[in-house]
Amino acid sequence: MNDRLTALKLFSRAGRVGSFSSAGRELGLSQPSASRLIAALEAEVGATLFNRTTRAVTLTDAGATYLTRVEAILAALDEADHEARGTGELRGVLRIGTPISFGLREIIPRLPAFMKQHPALKIELRVTDRYPDIVTEGMDVSFQFGELPDSSAMLRKLIHQPRILTASPDYLRERGTPTMPSDLAHHSVIISPAHPSPTFSFGKDGRVTTVRVDNQLAITINEGAVASAVAGLGIAASSLNSVRTELESGALVRILSDWDFGSMEVNALFVSGKTIKPAARAFTDFLVAELRR
């Protein structure tokens, strides 16, 4: 790889992660080498691209403008290389963001088949139950549920998953099984990102029933809510796919199944205005096909 192309890739990553050393490690460069390449790039461009402090580096206004142009060039080059090979082979690094539950239950089990198809592709899977900033964190695609806070991102709607309520058999034996939404007012309902509000609404026969629930436990990740429900700590809301394994094993039981509790939309997010990386597009297509089987 020539120095100019290496410098542009380094600049792109440093602009996203805010660190020469972190960006350099991704490209197999030492911190001094990374710093020298960036300094040489700035000299060649004729502008200061980064503000440097002892804690971090941040883009200058000129650097931010340059980054937009450079990333478009790098993405176009990646696309050109992909098309020139003509084999469908993917190379480079694919950075994927995903909620914990979706990552553990839907993405990771399907990764072996995808990676076997593309042995030259490296994947970084960033698993979190917060909404990541796909721009500053430098992700190629991020899978998210529900309404999205970043309206500037390009969005591809993938599937809808029913939202359901579940509880353990032990909990239901002890507390009884709700047969009407109003019964939830007398139960312990676990609050989680799948349904962060204590107000629950249900539809049936064209009517909407709303009930405010009591919660003794609130938890910040959906996988924790599922584990808590299995442990008998209360009733948990989740997408159907998030508890499919527990329902099949009998660890959890679905309740109020004849009431419509809404659905959770799964979306793929890409950086707006940026050419979608071939690997990100290919993986999204692969995942959609798998989920719709």
Instruction: Give the domain 1-86 fold.
Output: Arc Repressor Mutant, subunit A (1.10.10)
Question: Over the stretch 241-273, which tens digit does the pLDDT of each residue have?
Answer: 889 999 999 999 999 999 999 988 888 988 766
Q: 92-293 in CATH: which number?
A: 3.40.190.290
Higher pLDDT, 139 or 231: 231
Please report, as a single letter, which amino acid is at residue 292: R
Tell me: pLDDT of 1 over 70: no
Taking only the tens place, the pLDDT of each residue in 12-57 is 888 877 889 888 888 889 888 999 999 999 999 999 999 988 778 8
Please say whether the beta carbons of 59 and 49 come within 8 A: yes
Q: What is the mean pLDDT of residues 276-284?
A: 90
Give dist(CA 67, CA 70) in Å, integer: 5
What whole-number distance in Å separates Cα of residue 268 and Cα of residue 291?
A: 13
Statement: residue 170 has pLDDT above 90: yes
The answer to whether 1-86 and 92-293 have equal CATH topology is no
Where do the structural domains in the chain lie, given as residue ranges?
1-86, 92-293
Question: Measured between alpha carbons, how far is 280 from 276 in angstroms, rounded to an integer?
Answer: 7
Q: Which residue has the tokens 């997408």?
A: 239
* Across 36-50, 139-153, 196-210, least confident range: 139-153
- Residue 258: name the closest of 203, 209, 214, 185 by CA: 203
77-112: pLDDT as tens digits: 877 777 777 666 788 889 899 988 899 999 999 999
